[in-house]
């Protein structure tokens, strides 16, 4: 009996040692990718367009938003294609007085007569967001607004844009921001609400220029596929309360 009990214990230990890694193999697994949110090269192909509006003292007729041909020299060497048109998104504005002024640049739905905000889905678990910014040495600050999976909007600070010419700015996503709902049927990603530019109360506000290119994310796209994973994405049709065919 003692020998049989010992064999049983050994079999249990073998099972634990060799099978537990199989059950826990998804833990700690990551698959990092660099994904482009918008490179501003093909605005007609996107599900959104960009719209800008300002705070109380923005001058009449401003801000102005427009696409221009061009790209940062640091990107030209690795992405230059003679058959492709490269564009950047430019914004020009001015304010009637100094103070706590701001401009927001947000994605909006295309094909509608009204300005309807469109929040861009951010795929995966985002580690970092970066964007190329052309600065004109103004002591302004660039922020990004994102909505977490619980519906809260957070402000991420890229920092000052008082540099000269093109510079890549980045910001890491704080760990306290929930990126995936704990509910299987809840939102499984964050969304980009827009960009915000804030003036320094002491800085000039007569004329301000800024350009953007290559908005990207570093993200972990690994998906834990459980039994029945596909059921969380099914769409229910607009029918009566009775079950349809």
DSSP annotation string for the chain: -HHHHHHHHHHHHHHHHHHHHHHTTTTT---EEEEEEE-SS-GGGSSEEEEEEE-TTBPTT--EEEEEE---HHHHHHH--TTS--EEEEEEE-BSS-SS-EEEEEEEESS-SS--B-PEEE-SEEEEEEEEEEEES---EEEEEEE-TTS-EEEEEEEE--SEEEEEEEEEPPTTS--S-SSTTS--SEEEEEEEEE--TTS--S-EEEEEEEEEEEEE------TTGGGGGPPPPS--SS---
Can you name the CATH fold of 28-223? Jelly Rolls (2.60.120)
| The model's pTM | 0.79
Q: Give the pLDDT confidence score for residue 244 in this predicted structure.
A: 52
Question: What is the average pLDDT value for the chain, to the nearest integer?
Answer: 84
Q: Is the pLDDT of residue 30 over 80?
A: no
Out of 71-80, 110-119, 176-185, 193-202, the most confident range is 193-202
| Of the candidate ranges 9-13, 49-53, 195-199, the one whose mean pLDDT is the lowest | 9-13
Mean pLDDT of 74-90: 86
pLDDT, tens digit (0-9, with 9 covering 90-100), for 97-108: 999 999 999 999
C-alpha closest to that of 158 among 172, 171, 140: 171
Q: Give the pLDDT confidence score for residue 81 in this predicted structure.
A: 77
**pLDDT interval class at 112 (50, 70, 90):** confident
Q: Give the pLDDT confidence score for residue 3 in this predicted structure.
A: 53
Rounded Cα distance, 38 and 220, in Å: 18
Domains in the chain: boundaries:
28-223
Q: Give the pLDDT confidence score for residue 20 in this predicted structure.
A: 43
Q: Give the pLDDT confidence score for residue 71 in this predicted structure.
A: 94
Q: Is the pLDDT of residue 199 over 80?
A: yes
Rounded Cα distance, 225 and 174, in Å: 26
Q: Give the pLDDT confidence score for residue 19 in this predicted structure.
A: 46
pLDDT, tens digit (0-9, with 9 covering 90-100), for 121-132: 999 899 999 999
Q: Give the pLDDT confidence score for residue 62 in this predicted structure.
A: 97
**pLDDT interval class at 77 (50, 70, 90):** confident
Rounded Cα distance, 98 and 114, in Å: 31
The encoded tokens of residue 74 equal 């640091």
């Amino acid at each position: 009996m003692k020998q049989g009990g010992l064999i049983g214990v050994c079999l249990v230990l073998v099972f634990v040692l060799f099978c537990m890694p199989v059950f826990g193999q998804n833990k700690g697994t990551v698959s990092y990718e660099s994904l482009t949110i918008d490179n501003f090269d093909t605005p007609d192909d996107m599900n959104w367009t960009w719209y800008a509006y300002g705070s109380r003292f923005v001058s009449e007729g401003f801000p102005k938003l427009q696409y221009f041909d061009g790209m940062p020299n640091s990107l030209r060497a690795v992405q230059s294609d003679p058959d492709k048109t490269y564009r950047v998104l430019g914004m020009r504005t001015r304010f009637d007085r100094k103070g706590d002024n701001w401009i927001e640049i947000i994605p909006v739905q295309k094909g509608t007569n009204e300005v309807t905000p469109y929040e861009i889905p951010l795929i995966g678990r985002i580690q970092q967001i970066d964007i190329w910014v052309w600065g004109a040495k103004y002591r302004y600050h660039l922020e990004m607004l994102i909505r977490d999976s619980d519906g809260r909007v957070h402000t991420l600070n890229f920092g000052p844009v008082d540099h000269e010419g093109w510079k890549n700015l980045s910001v890491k996503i704080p760990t306290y921001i929930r990126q995936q709902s704990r509910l299987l049927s809840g939102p499984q990603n964050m969304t980009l609400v827009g960009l915000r530019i804030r003036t320094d109360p002491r800085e000039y506000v007569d004329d301000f220029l800024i350009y953007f290119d290559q908005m990207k994310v570093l993200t972990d796209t690994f998906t834990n596929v459980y039994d029945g994973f596909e059921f969380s994405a099914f769409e229910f049709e607009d029918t009566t309360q009775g079950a349809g065919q």
